[in-house]
Structure 1
């Protein structure tokens, strides 16, 4: 067996073990745990193996762009470790005031880009599991990509089962994972992140159902196997309310509708030709709209009872005083406490802005926002490519795309990507998406003449005819 083939066969078990480890030990939201370094070290061999395979066998243009953006994300905290001239360091208004205080206290200014270089270095290390999962997913064979999505779906289902187990234990039971009641979170300490995980699993189940349906047409799997995945999708949909996440309830129905149409579970061309399916599609859209409106109203009530919107506005304002450099990755807690408004002078410290975009702006400044815009532009480009593609790889890429968009939507009111569990999971989703979209076949159209009349007819996808080459 060639060395490269052996390495590629080894890659799927390696990244699967990494994801399992991240789910078992990376679900907490505190800034530092004893397992963080272990997970980062576990990711190193996966990074090296995946990088070697990508260098030896090459990568598609989509994967190359994704790798460039992944490195750009890692470059942000890496650059913040550098020292900069004192004049540039004092450029942000917040640092001018800080320099005055430090001088009055007799403390010499250390002009690093980041106000907390140690925390920024730690943030750089914490990117390793997600980077490893991303690179490994990019280097997998097509069939291995499906297996990886099945692994992620299995982890979500396991966590739901574990959440039921934990919820059934007495409050003082020694079997409880956490010393406090984390609700229906399971391995995840934050129930909002459980909602995010269930939405990811639901979308992946829809995508795997569509892919299984195409494989069944080739005789590669049981004819009705896709119904199992659809059942799992429905099950995970019903689990989202148990998480008590308001944002999750707003996102889950639109995510389901988008996944159904994007994954071609219900092809649009067939919907338009079949009144029953058209009625069902309209019902799904109406249900999604009703769910969104109800959820938005629910969240409007939430603004009266919680301070998330105040935290978001404060983080944006504080970020403006730290522009253009940002306060530094990992510096949110001290930088926020130093300039927080009176309404946020609370007995407990504010650990996150509860808005990923506001926190990213505050801690990374102009450079971080530029990288964020490039990532969003890549997602738009992938969506355009998928709209013109078909086949099993297009189906899997679409499911990953919808899952990532759902996570980004939830990031507006929470911080799911601040946990190693969801960060590594999203890294794997991004890798599968880019590798699969590069191999997705374009939709074909042709002009045909039937009974002497000219008619425009869409070619039936070869996936459905069963005579296409394996994706």
Structure 2
């Protein structure tokens, strides 16, 4: 009897091990990314730890769960390989007779001639170090993609809770930042929006984007709740409290884009939400009222406290004042278009925006700060990656469209359906991706590693929902 129990225990452990390893890789990558790489800059010190660690976890994920991930998410992995191939292609050395014929390379030829140097072999990239950085930056996202694809559906609700926890932790941290000294110890990056709520990020807009995307996640969380009726009432009240808390937390960032996305997030939350079914015996009216009062009381107290704090910070004035940075983004767009035309159809090289933009930047735009990104990711993708990168962007949009229409066809999913959890999380994932895409029109959230990994999880949720619909 004892030997049978031992064999049964060993069997259960062995059967769960393939799922536990990718889950631990996923969990570790997300935690590390949010606490170490909340900035898009390539000179932050934490990259010295993040890059080798993400490369190690990439190798581990390929070895431990690569086959399973390929079986479940072939379209996403093929897309990932295409992206890696494009970036790597921009680093392949080309003979002078080839690279000098590429559009926009005249300035390099003149530079070598002025220095009295013979034309060397040169890759397509105008700034090779930046492109190498872009290539190394793909290790973390691809490691997470492989690992999350191999995670069983039951584990994805734990990832949902993790993302919600990180989102609210970042929001509360941002509140403390706004209340504290302008360059206090809670700001984690040397270059940041000091005096504003940035949370675990370096940029207030990225903090606001994360908080806004919490709305569809909250809707998914309460839709998937399973418990007694009194627990359901309490959980629903706490979810509403969390949704209310997000409003002042977003206001404290001083981000106009965050407010717009918050409205979008609330709208998508209605689309994601499905009425949960409580389990177990019904509770009395007194217990039901008690649960509601406790939840509502907590919600009111939290909302009042945070609203008072939000009003006492300078972020609200920031929403009213004219933003010079926003004006510069509009003024710089024609310059970006000119650069894009010059380097089309091959682009200037993935990751080379800063160096390429400086070639075309008017003297009147020069200041103590520099334009680090186009603040329009599609424009920057085409400028640096050319026609192949544009094709990949269309590919991504096509996959998103296919997932959306599949989710819409399955809109009558019921709680008793075996794929109910996947459908709810698929909707939440699509909502997150749509909001990140919308934010990318005027910003660059997906160039922040933490938000990139967030988008990877959302994409896998969409993929899982589509895969189960096709079965």
State whether TM-score is above 0.5: yes
Structure 2 equivalent of residue 378 of structure 1: 399
Contact 1:60 1:435 survives alignment (8 Å): no
Are positions 1:201 and 2:214 aligned together? yes
Contact 1:308 1:354 survives alignment (8 Å): yes
Structure 1 equivalent of residue 86 of structure 2: 76
Structure 2 equivalent of residue 424 of structure 1: 453
CA distance in 2, matches of 1:178, 1:55: 34
Structure 1 equivalent of residue 260 of structure 2: 250
Greater Cα offset, 299-308 or 247-256 = 299-308
Structure 2 equivalent of residue 223 of structure 1: 232
Report how far residue 207 of structure 1 moved.
1.6
The match for 1:119 among 112, 121, 130 is 130
Q: Normalization by structure 1: what TM-score? A: 0.79
Contact 1:80 1:113 survives alignment (8 Å): yes
Contact 1:195 1:240 survives alignment (8 Å): yes
The match for 1:234 among 238, 244, 259 is 244
The residue correspondences of 1:166-181 to structure 2 (distance < 5 A) are 166-171=177-182, 173-174=184-185, 176-178=187-189, 181=194
Cα separation, partners in 2 of 1:58 and 1:114, compared to 1, 3 Å: closer
Cα separation, partners in 2 of 1:14 and 1:105, compared to 1, 3 Å: same
Structure 2 equivalent of residue 269 of structure 1: none
Cα separation, partners in 2 of 1:378 and 1:343, compared to 1, 3 Å: farther
Structure 2 equivalent of residue 400 of structure 1: 429
Are positions 1:95 and 2:128 aligned together? no
CA distance in 2, matches of 1:396, 1:64: 19
Structure 2 equivalent of residue 451 of structure 1: none
Gapped regions of structure 2 (runs ≥ 5) = 1-10, 277-318, 414-419
CA distance in 2, matches of 1:250, 1:299: 14
The residue correspondences of 1:174-193 to structure 2 (distance < 5 A) are 174=185, 176-178=187-189, 181-193=194-206
Report how far residue 175 of structure 1 moved.
5.5
Structure 1 equivalent of residue 303 of structure 2: none
Structure 1 vs Structure 2 CA RMSD: 2.8
The match for 1:211 among 224, 227, 232 is 224
Contact 1:196 1:248 survives alignment (8 Å): yes
Contact 1:202 1:237 survives alignment (8 Å): no
Are positions 1:352 and 2:381 aligned together? no
Q: Deviations over 1:218-240 (max 9, x none)?
A: x6994333443343233224422
CA distance in 2, matches of 1:172, 1:300: 22
CA distance in 2, matches of 1:144, 1:123: 30
Cα separation, partners in 2 of 1:182 and 1:203, compared to 1, 3 Å: farther
Contact 1:206 1:233 survives alignment (8 Å): no
Determine which structure has greater relative contact order: mean sequence separation of CA pairs < 8 Å that are 6+ residues apart, divided by chain length.
1
Q: Normalization by structure 2: what TM-score? A: 0.79
Q: Deviations over 1:52-79 (max 9, x none)?
A: 4544446556x11011112212222111
Contact 2:175 2:249 survives alignment (8 Å): no
Report how far residue 363 of structure 1 moved.
1.1
Structure 1 equivalent of residue 389 of structure 2: 368
Are positions 1:33 and 2:54 aligned together? no
Cα separation, partners in 2 of 1:387 and 1:49, compared to 1, 3 Å: farther
Contact 1:199 1:240 survives alignment (8 Å): yes
The residue correspondences of 1:257-272 to structure 2 (distance < 5 A) are 257-264=267-274
The residue correspondences of 1:265-304 to structure 2 (distance < 5 A) are none
Structure 1 equivalent of residue 165 of structure 2: 154
Cα separation, partners in 2 of 1:265 and 1:377, compared to 1, 3 Å: farther
Are positions 1:415 and 2:444 aligned together? yes
